[in-house]
Structure formats: structure tokens, C-alpha cells
Amino acid sequence: MPGLRPSKRRHRVHADVELKLIPVMSLLVVLVPMLLQTAVFQKVAAISMSLPSADEVRYLEEPTPEELARSVTVAMTDEGFVVASGDETLERVPLTTEGGYDFEALAAALARVKRSFPSQEALVLLVEDAVRYEDVVHAMDRARPHFPHVSLADRVQAPAEE
Amino acid sequence: MPFSPTKRKKHFRRRPREMTLQITSMIDVFTILLVFLLKSYSTEGHLINIAEAIRLPTSTATLEVARAVSVGFNDRALYLDGELLVEDVTPYLASDEMAIPPLLRALEERAARVKEVAAKNPSVVFTGEIVLQGDREIPFRLLKKVIYTAGQAGYVNQSLAVFQEE
């Protein structure tokens, strides 16, 4: 269809059409504070750990020497981490010069240990009484990529040690 | 067609035309805010109420927190479901006894109540789930005692509440 020449009569200039934004504004003013109030900026997560239930017989079974030799433990002491398997000490991670735990070195040490125990999924964290909870959680974080099942245990300071 | 006012009428139009606010840009800002807030809006909401005095440690864990009984504790007080239970934990922390008697009593009461309901209503099951909200500064000794006490009361599916690290 050939283009028609626009009529010369239609020359009325429309004034600027103003959008009626006031109702939208009212809506936003109500919605934004409401959402701001319910917004969760700090998400809470959980670290699961199950204790053996009292009626589980498995709890009472002694680990076989074989199992003990394969087990990996990390002791958290006031001198740093000690990674061990059974009775054998594998790695020692001393404290940093500032006196804090050296989590990066622990992660590296655990990666090395994982290579010698590729099938081991569990790790026991032996923690001394005075260790801060935050450090325990951070140590669990570092251990989880290599050993998904991290459990906590109490480290009793052996009186015979030194 | 608008007609031009007569000279006389022109005289009346002294005051300026009605002012309109330039709210378009404000709408832009609000729209972006709205989209951002809607994106971060989580329908889960706050499943657990954390006592104000407790600052959880941060962790890379991503597991979702279960709806369960919560025990909060810092180096001074102990809270059960957000309510103050023990005002001063130091004597329990120092004692050689592993369990914390008031917490043990309160948890046992709760467990007994849930088990009683569970006996009559099959849709209620006692799962033994509990969320431990420890302050980041507490010593492991306190955590150990709380874990032990909860375990004694039958709450064996324990989880540690932490703040998610970005």
C-alpha cells in the first residue's frame, strides 16, 4: 500500500503528557520499607552433628585397631594443630606469629593428609577446653572440603605429656 | 482548540503554573530498590530467634537451619528458645560435672511434653533436633557441656548455628 501523505490538518501539538506517578510512588513508599524490614542480610546456616543416640549399640563398640590406624584426628591445643592418624603424628601446624591458629596451613596439611587417606571421609577434631568456639568452627570449615564428616571430641590433656 | 485568553484574563494568571514534582528519577531509585529487596526476600523468614547478646561465629556451611528447640549461650547467660534460663553460667562452667542441671531439667521437660503429644498424635514425632547458638567467644568447655546436656535430655540431632559467610 502506498504511503499516504499525512493530512495537513492534523497539526494540533499535544502538550507533554505527564504520567500519573503519584499512585506508583505511594505503592513503592509502602512496599520498600516493608521489604526492608523483612530483609535478611545475615543468613543463618547450620553445621549438623549428630550424637550417637543412647539406644544405639554401635556407640559402645570399640574401634578395631585397623579402624584406629585409618582414622584421622586433628588436635587443637594451645600450641596449634596436631594432625594425627591413630598414634602416629602426621603434621604439626604451629600458631601464627600473632598467636592465632594458622587455618591456611591447616587446610594445606589436611589436603596432604587426604592424599594418603583417600577413602577416609571422617575426621575427629580433638579440642582442648580453652579453645574459642569461633576457632573450632573455622577449623571445621577448613576440614570439611577434605573430610566431610567432622565430629568433635574432647581432648584430655595427657598428664604424661612432657 | 485552546484559545488565547483575553488580555483581561491574562491579568489573573499572575501566579505561576502549578508546580509538579520531578519524581521520575525517584521512581527509578525505588524500583531498583524494590527489585533488589524482592530478590533478597526469603520466604523462610527468621526460623530461629537469636538472643541479642549472642554473636554467632561465621562459617562456610550452607546447611539450612531446622525449626527446632534452640539453646543460646554466651560467656554469661544461657537462653532456651530466646528466653533467659541461666543468668550466670560461670559456676557451671567451672564445675567438674558435665551436665548443666537447669538446662537438663528444662530440656527433659520439653522432651517429655513432645513425647506425650507424639504418643497420642502420630503426626508429631520427637526428632531430637536442637539448634545450638553459641557466641563466638565462648570456650569449648562450655560448648561441650551444652552438647552433653542436650544429649542426655534426648536431643541428639544437634546442629550448630552459624552466620553464613558470603
Instruction: Look at residue B46 in the predicted model and tell me its pLDDT.
Output: 53
* Selection from A119, A128, A130 nearest residue A152 by Cα: A128
B38/chain A closest Cα distance in angstroms: 7
Q: CB of A136 within 8 Å of any CB in chain B?
A: yes
Are B61 and A47 spatial neighbours (Cβ–Cβ below 8 Å)? yes
Low-confidence ranges of chain A (pLDDT < 70): 1-2, 8-14, 40-41, 50-68, 156-162
B43, B59, B71: best to mutate for the A interface, most A CBs within 10 A:
B59
- Cell match 530461629: residue? B48
A65-154: CATH, from 2.30.30, 3.40.50, 2.40.160, 3.30.420 = 3.30.420
pTM, two decimal places:
0.71
Average pLDDT over residues B94-120: 88
- Give the C-alpha separation, A90 to A81, whole Å: 11
List all residues 6 or more positions away from A148 whose beta carbon is below 8 Å from its beta carbon: A121
Which residue has better confidence, A162 or B76? Answer: B76
Instruction: Look at residue B155 in the predicted model and tell me its pLDDT.
Output: 87
Q: Are B59 and A39 an interchain contact pair (Cβ–Cβ within 8 Å)?
A: no
Average pLDDT over residues B152-158: 86
Select from B26, B134, B156 the Cβ nearest to the Cβ of A50.
B156
Count of CB atoms situated within 10 Å of the CB of B144: 16
Using the predicted structure, report yes or no on whether residue B12 has a pLDDT greater than 70.
no
Using the predicted structure, report yes or no on whether residue B42 has a pLDDT greater than 70.
no
B-chain CB neighbours of A141 within 8 Å are 59-61
Q: CB of A32 within 8 Å of any CB in chain B?
A: yes
* Average pLDDT along chain B: 81
Instruction: Look at residue A58 in the predicted model and tell me its pLDDT.
Output: 47
Count of CB atoms situated within 10 Å of the CB of B61: 21
Instruction: Look at residue A161 in the predicted model and tell me its pLDDT.
Output: 38
List all residues 6 or more positions away from A108 whose beta carbon is below 8 Å from its beta carbon: none
Q: Tell me the count of A-B CB pairs closer than 8 A.
A: 146
Instruction: Look at residue B14 in the predicted model and tell me its pLDDT.
Output: 59
Are A90 and A111 spatial neighbours (Cβ–Cβ below 8 Å)? no
Q: CB of A13 within 8 Å of any CB in chain B?
A: no
- Give the C-alpha separation, B149 to B28, whole Å: 55
Tens-digit pLDDT profile for residues B135-151 = 988 988 888 888 888 88
**Low-confidence winner among A14-18, B30-34, B43-47 (lowest mean pLDDT):** B43-47
**Low-confidence winner among B13-17, B18-22, B66-70 (lowest mean pLDDT):** B13-17
Sign of CA dihedral B99, B105, B106, B111: positive
Nearest CA in chain B to A44: B163
B62/chain A closest Cα distance in angstroms: 6
Radius of gyration of chain B (CA): 29
Instruction: Look at residue B4 in the predicted model and tell me its pLDDT.
Output: 67
Percentage of chain B modeled with pLDDT above 90: 4
Are B73 and B89 spatial neighbours (Cβ–Cβ below 8 Å)? yes
List all residues 6 or more positions away from B18 whose beta carbon is below 8 Å from its beta carbon: none
B64/chain A closest Cα distance in angstroms: 5
Residue by residue, DSSP assigns A32-57 as HHHHHHH--SS-EEEEEEEPPPTT-G
- Give the up-direction half-sphere exposure of residue B111: CA atoms within 13 A in the CB hemisphere: 19
**Residue A97 backbone zone (phi > 0: left; psi -120 to 50: alpha; other: beta):** alpha
Q: Are A47 and B159 an interchain contact pair (Cβ–Cβ within 8 Å)?
A: yes
Select from B27, B41, B131 the Cβ nearest to the Cβ of A25.
B27
- Give the C-alpha separation, B50 to B161, whole Å: 10
Q: Where are the domains of chain A?
A: 65-154
Instruction: Look at residue A159 in the predicted model and tell me its pLDDT.
Output: 47
B24, B52, B60: best to mutate for the A interface, most A CBs within 10 A:
B60
* Selection from A79, A76, A56, A161 nearest residue A124 by Cα: A76
Chain centroid to Cα B158, Å, comes to: 18
Residue by residue, DSSP assigns B30-98 as HHHHHHHHHHH--TT--SS---TT--PPEES--EEPPS-EEEEE-SS-EEETTEEEES--HHHHHSS-S
Instruction: Look at residue A9 in the predicted model and tell me its pLDDT.
Output: 67
